[in-house]
Amino acid sequence: MSLCYQCGKCSAGCPVRYYMDIAPNKVVRLIQLGYYEEALKSETPWLCAGCLTCSVRCPKEFDLAKFMDAVREIAIEKGVEVKQENILKFHKAFLDQIKNHGRSYEVGLVAEYKMKTLDLFQDVDSAPGMFLKGKLDLLPHNIKNRKEIKSIFKKTSGKK
């Protein structure tokens, strides 16, 4: 954490910088100064696309993308209200498919996501196309050892 000297190169190269409420380097700064709540409440970690541009260009070799992973994980753990709630709902819906089937199941994912967000109309243009092109299977690809996957989820979901 003390590695960061606040040069801002991460923010300068961040592809989603324009959509963020505060700059990525500022999230680091807030945590350096002990303003954890402010940092955890920010939308920035949720908008981070994990593209690693910041990490590969950081002059101090600070892995900011991984740091953002940690911030999000702590925010979930602490139950901080996530302003970019759709993004979190998407991730949850995605992981639910894996938990149940072992692989991603796009129909289930989209259905669950839409139930959660009540955003029923987005993507209506692409889904039928995907069906027509035979890309969306109506049934999930279940793996055999779903028990193992469920157990991994169970063991890793406990409060630390």
Partner 1 sequence: MKYGYFPGCSLTSSAKEYDISLRKVIDKLGISFDEINDWSCCGATSAHVTNHKLSTALAMRNIMLAEQQGLDNIIAPCAACYNRLIISQNEIGKHSGIRKETEDLLSVKFKKDIKVFNILELFLKSGINKIIENRKRELSELKAACYYGCLLVRPAAITKFDDAEEPESMEKIIEATGAGAVDWNYKTECCGAAHSIARRDIVVDLSKKILDDAITHGANVMVVACPMCHTNLDMRQRAMKRKYPDHKEFPVLYLTELIGLSLGMDEKELGIDLHYTNFKYADTLLNNSAKG
Partner 2 sequence: MKIGVFICHCGENISSTVDCPRVADVCRGYSGVEYSVDYKYMCSDPGQNLIKNAIHKYDLDAIVVGSCSPHMHERTFRNAAVSAGINPFMVEIANLREHCSWVHDDIEASSRKAIELMRMAIEKVKRDKPLTKIKVPVTKRVLVIGGGIAGIQAALDTANAGYEVVLVEKEPSIGGHMSQLSETFPTLDCSQCILTPRMVEVHQHPKIKLMTYSEVERVEGFIGNFKVTIKKKARHINEDKCSGCGMCITKCPIKKKAYNSFEEDLAFRPAVYVPFPQAIPNIPVIDETVCTYYKTGKCGMCLKVCDREAIDFAQKDTMHVADVGAIIVATGFKLYNIEKKSGDSKYKGYGEYGYGKYRDVIDGLQFERIASASGPTSGEIKRPSDGRVPKKIAFIQCVGSRDDSKGISYCSKICCMYTAKQAMLYRHKVHDGEAYIFYMDIRAGGKMYEEFVRRAIEEDKVKYIRGRVSRIYEEDGKYIVKGEDTLAGMPVEIDADMVVLATAMIPQDGAESLARTIGIPYDKYGFFNEAHPKLRPVESTTAGVFLAGACQSPKDIPESVSMASAAASKAIILFANDTLEREPVVAKVNEDICAGCFYCMKVCPYGAVEVKDVKDMNGIVYKEVAYINQGVCQGCGTCTATCLSKSIELAGFNNEEIFAEIAAL
- The footprint of partner 1 (CB under 8 A) covers 15-16, 19, 47-53, 55-56, 63, 68-70, 72-73, 76, 84, 86-92, 94-95, 98, 102-104, 106, 110, 113, 117, 122-123, 125-126, 129-130, 133-137, 141, 143-145, 148-149, 152-153, 155-157
Residues ≥6 apart with Cβ < 8 Å to 14: 20, 23, 24, 48, 53, 54
Query: Which C-beta is closer to partner 1: that of 60 or that of 92?
Result: 92
25 binds partner 2 (CB under 8 A): yes
DSSP 27-86: HHHHHHTT-HHHHHH-SHHHH-----HHHHH-TT---HHHHHHHHHHHHHHTTPPPSSHH
Q: Which does 12 bind (CB under 5 to 8 A by kind): partner 2, partner 1, none?
A: partner 2
Q: Which does 47 bind (CB under 5 to 8 A by kind): partner 2, partner 1, none?
A: partner 1
